[in-house]
């Protein structure tokens, strides 16, 4: 306040105060519009981001896909080349060669950032897996007897598909229904239990009276103990707190045929899942769950939580 002629402080006029407040509000609104805004789409918990990372197009792409397209200029768009080779023992080894793109498994569910994200594998247009790196093992049992068309589509961390001129960034190959090592077949129905030639569940599968997590009804865990072949289990301990994973996600070397005990502690209820071997277990908040799996074929297998979409580790089986 400036002093008046009588030496007393003079108050600013109401008109001046109103003008200053209006100017401040205009500046605040203008600065907020520079930031990406987020919202949740109807019926989904996936975050959809609008902002400088391309133009979010309305609707989806394809009858079976929930992906919305995020269009970017061709010169900035990522690229992907899909190659598939028969595995020596079972199924197919899938390879994704990408350009102007980086896989970011620790950022799944976050904002879209140009040149980052993961990939979706689709078989005949239906999504069958997420891929968080350049390689993936596709079991023969996932491929129908008549074969199918396999597509690798690059998506952002918010699950929108990168696109150029209204078409998703993807590559497609044709798979036959036969691969070395094991004949293809339909994916087992829920509740079906695979058996070996003797009609008994193979090593590593839960027996009668044992849960899928490898725990007995009494709650005692076999973690670290030998399996039926006498091999000591390799223990992998993972903790999840407030969406953060400790230790940080990475590749874990596993010897083929050795049992692995996944000991996961989470601060929220979720579902633990190992891709490629179709093993899962319920996670209860504040408790440690042990899921035992026997990795009986070579390849790269992702360990993730289904509900929160976190990638916990990749098991590199050799």
Q: Which one is predicted more confidently, 258 or 225?
A: 258
Show the DSSP H helices in 119-240 as ranges.
none
3-state SS of 38-67?
Answer: EEECCCCCCEEEECCCCEEEEEECCCCCCC
Cα–chain center distance at 94: 17
Alpha-carbon torsion angle 89, 255, 192, 237, nearest 10:
-150
Looking at residue 94, its pLDDT comes to: 92
Q: Which burial class, exposed, middle or buried, applies to 53 when counting CB atoms under 10 A from its CB (0-12, 13-18, 19+)?
A: buried
As a whole number, the mean pLDDT across the chain is: 74
Model confidence at 26: pLDDT above 60: no
Q: Which one is predicted more confidently, 231 or 298?
A: 298
Q: Which one is predicted more confidently, 42 or 278?
A: 278
Looking at residue 80, its pLDDT comes to: 96
Looking at residue 24, its pLDDT comes to: 57
Model confidence at 205: pLDDT above 90: no
For 107, phi then psi, to 5°, come to: -115, 10
Q: What is the pLDDT of residues 183-200, one digit of tens each?
A: 333 333 333 333 333 334
Model confidence at 116: pLDDT above 80: yes
Q: Which of 77-86, 126-135, 218-227, 302-311 has the lowest mean pLDDT?
A: 218-227
Q: Which one is predicted more confidently, 223 or 44?
A: 223
Considering 76-80, 131-135, 186-190, 207-211, the range whose residues carry the highest mean pLDDT is 76-80
Model confidence at 34: pLDDT above 80: no
Task: Report the b/e string of 83-121 with b at 16+ CB within 10 A.
Answer: ebebbebbbbbbebebeebebbbbbbebbbbbbbbbbbb
Interval 122-147 mean pLDDT: 87
CA distance 312 to 280: 13
Model confidence at 220: pLDDT above 50: no
Model confidence at 19: pLDDT above 70: no
Q: What is the pLDDT of residues 42-101, one digit of tens each?
A: 333 344 444 579 999 986 554 433 569 999 999 999 999 999 988 777 788 899 999 999
Looking at residue 210, its pLDDT comes to: 37
Looking at residue 179, its pLDDT comes to: 45
Interval 205-216 mean pLDDT: 38
Model confidence at 294: pLDDT above 60: yes
Looking at residue 5, its pLDDT comes to: 57
Looking at residue 196, its pLDDT comes to: 35
């Amino acid at each position: 306040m400036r002093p008046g002629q009588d030496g007393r402080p003079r108050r600013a006029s109401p008109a001046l105060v109103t003008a200053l407040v209006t100017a401040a509000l205009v500046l605040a609104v203008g600065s907020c519009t520079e930031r990406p805004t987020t919202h949740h789409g109807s019926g989904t918990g996936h975050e959809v981001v609008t902002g400088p990372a391309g133009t979010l197009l309305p609707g989806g792409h394809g009858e079976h896909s929930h992906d919305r397209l995020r269009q970017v200029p061709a010169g900035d768009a990522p690229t992907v080349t899909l190659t598939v080779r028969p595995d020596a023992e079972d199924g197919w080894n899938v390879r994704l060669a990408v350009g102007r793109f980086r896989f970011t498994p620790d950022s799944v569910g976050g904002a879209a950032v140009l040149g980052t994200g993961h990939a979706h594998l689709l078989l005949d247009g239906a999504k069958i897996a997420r891929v968080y790196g350049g390689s993936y093992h596709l079991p023969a049992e996932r491929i129908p007897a008549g074969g199918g068309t396999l597509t690798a589509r690059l998506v952002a961390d918010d699950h929108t598909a990168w696109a150029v001129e209204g078409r998703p960034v993807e590559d497609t190959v044709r798979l036959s229904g036969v691969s070395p090592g094991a004949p293809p077949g339909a994916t087992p129905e829920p509740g079906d239990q695979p058996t070996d030639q003797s009609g008994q569940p193979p090593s590593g599968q839960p027996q009668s009276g044992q849960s899928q997590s490898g725990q007995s009804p009494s709650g005692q865990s076999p973690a670290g103990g030998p399996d039926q072949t006498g091999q000591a289990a390799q223990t992998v301990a993972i903790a999840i707190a407030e969406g953060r994973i400790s230790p940080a996600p990475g590749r874990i070397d596993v010897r083929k045929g050795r049992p692995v005990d996944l000991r996961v502690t989470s601060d929220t209820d979720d579902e633990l899942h190992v891709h490629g071997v179709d093993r899962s277990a319920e996670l209860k908040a504040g408790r440690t769950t042990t899921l035992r799996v026997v990795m009986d074929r070579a390849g790269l297998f992702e360990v993730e939580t289904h509900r929160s979409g976190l990638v916990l580790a990749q098991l590199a089986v050799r």
